[in-house]
Copies of this chain bind each other. A is one copy, B any other.
Amino acid sequence: MSNQGNSTLQPTAALIVIGNEILSGRTQDQNVAFIAQKLNNLGIILTEVSIIPDIEEIIIQKIQILSKSYSYVFTTGGIGPTHDDITIQSVAKAFHVPLELNQSIAKVLEDECHSRGIPLNEARLKMALVPKGAKLIPNSVTHIPGVSLENVYVFAGIPIIMRAMFEEIIPLLNHGSPIKSQTIQGYAREGDLAAGLTQIQQTYPQVDIGSYPVSSDDVHSVSIVVRGTDEKIIASATKEVIDLMRQYGGEPLLGSVNKNLLQPNKS
């Protein structure tokens, strides 16, 4: 899909996950799969995910390169009050604009601090600094917004907040044709199916056919996933995969179209 058929009509995206805690293995990322699934449904092709440390030069460079290469760039992480939260300032530098104090965020922070009896100190006020020309992304969870500038959307890293922010920006994105998928699972060996799958992929270049062994045990169960934007073509390719699987295994099980089960990594 990303390299085939009607992909030129689909918007593209990159995701930058910013955080030493992911690169140290302390934190298991939960944001990539969520954003990937959402973009699929919106018909936006996620082509690259980059996980990078809290280092300003690296963040700036990555934003500059990816924002030129893709329709949209999303970032997660690094927008809190502490010294290691440097995403917003890096976005400003990437686009050569200054940071400005946003009065509406300052007011939110002021009210919040007042109601909790805590001081509105410099660290907290840092969260009211936004790049000049940026738009705010509402945050229904903690009320401190994310920002967008040009084609870059800056989200919090905490999954519940990131998800709330993502929902807000959906209407702002150009959508493509939703990417649908059909999973065909059965007891068969990848090595038996491979030649037939290659042929089916060649017959239907408009879809992407992926083959994912379910286990590494002796009895092999495999999931074949057919992905594309045209349900008729998906159905035709799926029928051929079913016929192929029947030659080498039992009766395949069909997942519902567009079922996105989270499964372990493939071979």
Would B29 and A29 count as touching, CB distance under 8 A? Answer: yes
Q: Which residues of B contact A159 (CB under 8 A)?
A: 264-265
CB neighbours (8 Å) of A195 from chain B are: 121-123
The CA of A47 and the CA of B23, in the complex, are separated in Å by 7
CB–CB B142/A55 < 8 A: no
Q: Which residues of the other chain, B, contact A22 by a CB distance below 8 angstroms? A: 32-33, 36, 49, 265
Interfacial residues, chain A to chain B (CB-CB below 8 A): 1-3, 17, 19-40, 46-55, 76-85, 118-119, 121-124, 126, 141-142, 156-162, 179, 181, 189-195, 197-198, 201, 208-213, 216, 225, 227, 260-267
Identify which of B3, B84, B212 contacts A210 (C-beta below 8 A). B84
Q: How far is the CA of A158 from the CA of B220 in the complex (A)?
A: 13
- B216 near A26: Cβ-Cβ < 8 Å: no
Pair B265/A27 contact, Cβ less than 8 Å: yes
| Complex CA–CA separation, A17 to B48 (angstroms) | 10
Which 3 A-B residue pairings sit nearest by Cβ, starting from the closest? A123-B194, A25-B36, A25-B37
Asked if B84 and A209 sit within 8 Å, CB to CB, the answer is yes
Residues on B with beta carbons closer than 8 Å to the beta carbon of A85:
211, 267
Q: Of the candidates B24, B192, B267, which one forms a contact with A80 in the assembled complex, judged by CB atoms under 8 Å apart?
A: B267
Closest Cβ of chain B to A178, distance in Å, is: 12
**Nearest Cβ on chain B to A235's Cβ, whole angstroms:** 19
Let me know if A28 and B81 touch, CB within 8 A: no
Q: Which of B34, B77, B79 contacts A25, CB < 8 Å?
A: B34
